[in-house]
Structure 1
Amino acid sequence: MDIVQLSYFIAVVNCDFNLSEASNKIHLTQSALSQFISNYEKRENITLFLRKSNRLVGLTKSGEIIYKYALDIVKNYEEMTIKAIEAASISKQVIKIGVPSLILMVYFSSMLPKFKEKYPTIEFKVVEAGSYQIQQLLIKGEIDIGIILGPTELKNDMFHQVLVHSSDVVAFIDQEHPLATENKIEWNSILDYDIATFNSDHSIYKLLNKKIKTLKETKQITYTANAWDYLINLTRGTNIITFLPELIYQFIPHQSIMYKKTVAPLAFDIYACMAKNRDEQNKHNIYDDILTIF
């Protein structure tokens, strides 16, 4: 018997050997069901059922053995099918990670290929955006994991938030800049110079703008851009001060560019965030892996 025929046999037993009831349950004509039983018994030379007046009334010893194994076989087949469907579903799983451009370059360029190797059935989609937008996407449930520059505005009771990196925002200047000899730059000293940093949707812009407004209400950030290399090049041979995270320095090829820390520096904190209602194990595993790369 194949798996379908085994289910027919089980249905007959479960319907108290009533062929009419069993045939209705399995959507097969009674004559076809009766023919199946007769053909099997003749082919295998086994009597499955006890009969009385041409009616089925019970199982023979052989029938009891087959019934016992049939239950296990059908159960295992159903479990196998469910697992296969789940595996197919997992193979189509997409995990979306929101990452600011700078963090994507520094950390994720080498990390994503390793994730793909470790989780071959998962498709990773990176959403490149600013920290504020990433927070909004997390709140709306449109991404699974967000890498956010602090401070965040997410609620602790709704989101996992782990500080994975902490450093400073520093002042990048040309080596001939008037402030190049300073050990640390006083904030009041920068007011006489043009200032450059990331665009206004970036958290560093917001922190820097808030800081300089406390020093001089009319002072403006002069140059903004998304590209850190452009912002660095603005300082070459000029007195422009570009404020960027300290970790940028490792990627700067120009020896003429230096950086200076400020007194009471602005913090550059990176948080890995995920909604607490995300119960899929794969997402938790990937989130935990992300925590280890910083």
Structure 2
Amino acid sequence: MNLQQFRFIRETIRRNYNLTEASRILFTSQPGVSKAIIEFEDELGVKVFERHGKRIKGLTKPGQAVASIIERIMIEVDNLKKVSDEFARRDEGSLVIACTHTQARYFLPRFIPEFRRRFPKVHVSLAEGSPLQLAQMVLQEQADIALATESLSEVSGLATLPCYSWEHTLVVKPDHPLTELTSSQARNLSLEQIVQYPIITYDRAFSGRSSIDQAFADQGLKPDIVLEAIDADVIKTYVDVEMGIGIIAGVAFDPRRDAGFVGIPVGHLFGTHVTRIGLKSGVFLRDYVYDFLAMLTPELSRDAVEAAVNSNGVADADNDFAPPLRRVS
């Protein structure tokens, strides 16, 4: 058995057992991939894949164990390459950040320019998607870091650390009736008051939407959500054309930039949320990745990051994270 066979098996699994797609990614032929897999199974003496005719349908029970071992081996092979790069080129390389639109648009611009000044030879890329897509990017090593609020801590093989906390903000036009509330009344704004108006907010996979739905459900209220979007700018656009009131992440509202709107904090209604950093468990991280993480969250030590990555979990990392967690608004 050899590393090439391991790569073929891993990519076949990643491509949902589609040999044509796996061979395309591996820059080889489909018969070559199929032959390598069969030779591996013959040498090992067990069937790794379940088949229906010539089509691969899934993993056998021993195949599940084999796949787990191969994944660990390939992680370490990749780590060897990264160690070599680290000592040969300590201040150059690439940093791919998988993030939601909110992180890319509102949070990361506070840090990426400074990172580029410190590491001008590091090429930075942003890859946007849903939280689960971001997690898969990191697990498949298409990205170094994932940054999102939902789902990351629930994904097997991903170590996560808290980055910052935030609350939702209600966005309305300056002439909306809710702007007539006094400061005290705004702080005590109720769900019953909000539910009187059409609502524009996030898609269910993004930015704490589940807590919005849960808050209304707990009070037996049925909000009229007329539009869902993954982008706070889109939400504000439709608030501007008076389709309804918007509920967005607080980090996406800036009174100076959003002078055409009024923002009312509603954390007391929808709770406090934590945006998390996701890293592949067991992966070797370049020094500049640790520096970037420290820029995002100064309280986050290198020891805490290493503990999370090497423990395949979040508990130790959270315990090592120095409270209080920084709030971004």
Distance 1:189 1:203 in 2: 22
Match of 1:242 in 2: 246
Distance 1:124 1:88 in 2: 19
Size of the aligned set, in residue pairs, is 211
Match of 2:160 in 1: 161
Could you give the per-residue CA deviations for residues 50-90 of structure 1, whole angstroms, max 9, x where no partner exists? xxxxxxxxxxxxxxxxxxxxxxxxxxxxxxxxx99876676
Asked whether the equivalents of residues 169 and 265 of structure 2 are also in contact (C-alpha less than 8 Å), the reply is: yes
| 2:175 corresponds to 1:176 | yes
- Judging changes above 3 Å, is the alpha-carbon distance between structure 1 residues 249 and 93 closer, same or farther for their aligned structure 2 residues? closer
Q: Which amino acid aligns with 2:298?
A: T
- Matched letter for residue 280 of structure 2: A
Other-structure match for 1:287: 293
Letter in structure 1 aligned against 2:276: Y
Distance 1:257 1:219, change over 3 A: closer
**After the TM superposition, which of the residue ranges 170-179 and 192-201 deviates more from structure 2?**
170-179
Q: 1:165 to 1:276 in 2, by over 3 A?
A: same
Distance in 2 separating the partners of 1:234 and 1:84: 51
- Residue 116 of structure 1 is matched in structure 2 by 116
Give unpaired runs (5+ residues) of structure 1.
1-82
Q: Which residue of 1 aligns with 2:129?
A: 129
Residue equivalent to 1:269: 274
Which of the pair has more CA radius of gyration?
A: 1
* Secondary structure at the counterpart of residue 242 of structure 1: strand
Q: 1:168 to 1:151 in 2, by over 3 A?
A: farther
- Residues 133/215 of structure 1: CA separation in 2 closer, same or farther (3 Å cut): farther
Matches within 5 A, 1:132-281: 132-150=132-150, 152-154=152-154, 159-180=158-179, 181=181, 182-183=185-186, 184-216=188-220, 219-236=223-240, 238=242, 240-250=244-254, 252-261=257-266, 263-281=268-286
Shift of residue 93, structure 1, vs aligned partner: 3.5
What is the TM-score normalised by the length of structure 1?
Answer: 0.59
Deviation at 1:236, TM superposition (A): 4.0
Task: Name which of structure 1's ranges 94-103 and 137-146 shifts more when overlaid on structure 2.
Answer: 137-146
1:97-118 deviation line (CA, Å, top 9, x unaligned)? 1122222222322522332332
SS in 2 for 1:235: helix
Q: CA deviation at 1:288?
A: 3.0
SS of 1:126's equivalent? Answer: strand
Paired letter, 1:142: Q
Report the CA distance shift for 1:141/1:220 in structure 2 as closer, same or farther (over 3 A): farther
1:242, distance to aligned residue in structure 2 (A):
0.6
Aligned partners of 1:176, 1:239: CA distance in 2, in Å?
14
What fraction of aligned residue pairs are identical, expressed as a percent? 11
Shift of 1:239: 7.5
What TM-score do you get using the length of structure 2 for normalisation?
0.53
The CA distance in 2 between the partners of 1:264 and 1:226, in whole Å, is 21
1:220 Cα deviation from its structure 2 partner: 4.5
**Coordinate RMSD, CA, aligned:** 3.4
- Offset at residue 146 of structure 1 (A): 1.1
2: CA distance between counterparts of 1:287 and 1:208? 29
8 Å CA contact retained: 2:200, 2:227: yes
Task: Give the aligned partner of residue 22 of structure 2.
Answer: none
Residues 200-257 of structure 1: CA deviation (Å, up to 9, x unaligned): 3313333323333444475442112234233224334747221012233315433552
Q: Which amino acid aligns with 1:258?
A: G
- Tell whether the 8 Å contact from 2:198 to 2:223 is kept in structure 1 after alignment: no
2:154 is paired with a residue whose SS is coil
Corresponding residue for residue 102 of structure 2: 102
Q: Which runs of 5+ in 2 are unaligned?
A: 1-82, 300-327
